[in-house]
Amino acid sequence: MPATGIEDDARAVGLDPRQWQRTLELLDDWCRRRLIPSAAIVCGRSDRATGTYVFGNQTLDPASPPVRDDVIFLVASITKPIVAMGALLLVERGQLSLDDRVCEIVSQFRGTKKYGVTVRHLLTHSSGLPDMLPRNRELRESHASLEEFVAGTCAAEMGFPPGRGVRYQSMGFGLLGEIIRTLSGRSCADFLRTEIFQQLWMNDTSLGAPAEWYDEQNGRAARVAEIRVPDDQRDAANDWGWNSRYWRGLGAPWGGVLSTPADLARFAQAMLSGGTIDGTRIFSKATVEAATKNQLAGMLGVPAADREGRPWGFGWRLSWPGSSPYFGDLLGPRMYGHMGATGTVLWLDPDRDAFAVVLTTQPQDPQGTYLARLSNSIAASLV
C-alpha cells in the first residue's frame, strides 16, 4: 500500500501514522532478512480495523511468490480461547456448568486424582493434566484421530490434584472439545463453525481444514502459508508436522484453527464490544466479562505466585506483571490474549479499546521475541 494509503488507514483507526509506518517497516525488514518467512498484521478498535498487511513469501522458498493478500495461517494455540468461548456458549445455554465434573460428561475420564477435575479446571490450566501426551509424536506419526488423543488424555497421569497448581495443559482443551461434542451432538469443529465463525462472518476460518478446502474450485488449502517447522518436525514435515495435510485437517481443539488476520479481527471486535458485532450478539456480556478476568483469584489451593502474578481467565492469558513474552511491555493491566507456537499472537486491550492480530510462520517459543517487540511498536502507535 502506498505511504499515503497507510497514513489514511492509520488515522481512520486512531493510530499515529508515523509510528504505525515504523511498525510495518519493522515487520517488513524481518521478512526481507528471512528472520520470519511470512507474516500478516491487523490492528483495530471495537468498531473499525486497519487493512491486512502481508509480508514475505507464501512458502519457505525465497523464490516463491509473495504472500497472498488472502493468506491463511495455522494459528496454533490461539485456538484455545476460541474453544473456550465455544464451551462458555454451552454454559450460557444451561447445558453445562463450570463446576461439572469432567468424568460425568466424558465417561472414560477415570482414575487417580481425576474425579475432582471440573470444566473450570480445564479452562484455567489448573487441572493437573499434561500439556502434551508422552506418546504425542507416536500418535502424530501414526495419523491418530482426535478420539485417540482423547483416549490418551483420559489415561494420562495427573501432575497434581485439580485446583492445586497451574500447568499449561493443551490436553485439557482436547477434553473441552470432547465435552462440546458430547453435549452439542456435533463435532467441536462443526459447533465452532455454526455457532461462532458463521455468526461472525469468519468465512476463511475453520478448526481443521475440511476436505473441500482441497477442491480446485474452493482453493483455500493453497492459501495456507508454509511454516518454518522446528527441528523435531523436519524429518517428517509433510507427513505429520504442521505443514502436513494430516495435521492441518485434524482439527485439534488445542491448536488446530486455520484463519486469516481479518477473520480474527472480527472475533477480537466481538470480544471488545462485550460479545456483539454489527448489532448481532454472539456472546453475552456476562460471558465476556467472566472469560477475561482472573479466574485463579478464587482458587486458594493455587500458589499465590500463580494467582497474583500469572493469572488466567477462561482460555485467555491475562496480563502477567513483570513478564512480557509475546505481548510486550506497553499494554494495559486488563490486557488479555493468546499466543501460538507457530509464531502467532492475538491481544486485546479493553482500556484502550484496541486489539492486534499478528500471524507469522516463524515459531518463537519460549519468549516470542519478535512478537513482543512488534507488540510494543503497535502499542506505541495507539492514540
pLDDT tens per residue, range 230-256? 888 887 667 999 999 999 999 999 999
Q: Round to the nearest angstrom and report the end-to-end CA distance of the chain.
A: 22
| Mean pLDDT, residues 179-184 | 98
Q: Is 295 exposed, middle or buried (0-12, 13-18, 19+ CB in 10 A)?
A: buried
Quote the pLDDT of residue 200. Answer: 97
Q: Position of cell 478498535?
A: 45
Distances (CA, A) of 225 to 214, 222, 243, 345, 359: 14, 8, 9, 16, 10
pLDDT tens per residue, range 320-341? 998 889 999 999 999 999 999 9
Mean pLDDT of the chain: 96
Q: Which domains are delineated in the chain?
A: 3-77+195-381 (3.40.710.10), 80-185 (no CATH)
Beta bridge partners of 207: 257
330, 23 in Cβ contact below 8 A?
A: no
Quote the pLDDT of residue 237. Answer: 64
Percent helix, strand and coil across the chain, each to the nearest 5: 40, 15, 45
Quote the pLDDT of residue 1. Answer: 61
Does the pLDDT of residue 152 top 80, yes or no? yes
Please, which pLDDT band fits residue 4 given cuts at 50, 70 and 90?
A: confident
pLDDT tens per residue, range 280-291? 999 999 999 999
pLDDT tens per residue, range 90-132? 999 999 999 999 999 999 999 888 999 999 999 999 999 999 9
Calpha distance 343→326 (Å, rounded) = 9
| Mean pLDDT, residues 11-36 | 98
Nearest residue to 184 via CA among 83, 322, 265, 76: 83
Helices (H), the chain: 3-13, 17-32, 79-92, 119-123, 136-141, 146-155, 170-184, 188-192, 245-250, 261-272, 285-291, 304-309, 369-381
- What stretch of H or E contains 48? strand 48-49
Which residues have C-beta within 8 Å of that of residue 224, sequence separation ≥ 6? Answer: 71, 72, 73, 74, 209, 248, 258
181, 173 in Cβ contact below 8 A?
A: no
pLDDT tens per residue, range 30-51? 999 999 999 999 999 999 999 9
- Coil, helix or strand for 207? strand
- Coil, helix or strand for 137? helix
Nearest residue to 24 via CA among 377, 380, 382, 383: 377
Residues composing the chain: 383
Residue 2: Cβ within 10 Å count? 7
Quote the pLDDT of residue 153. Answer: 98
Q: Position of cell 493443551?
A: 170
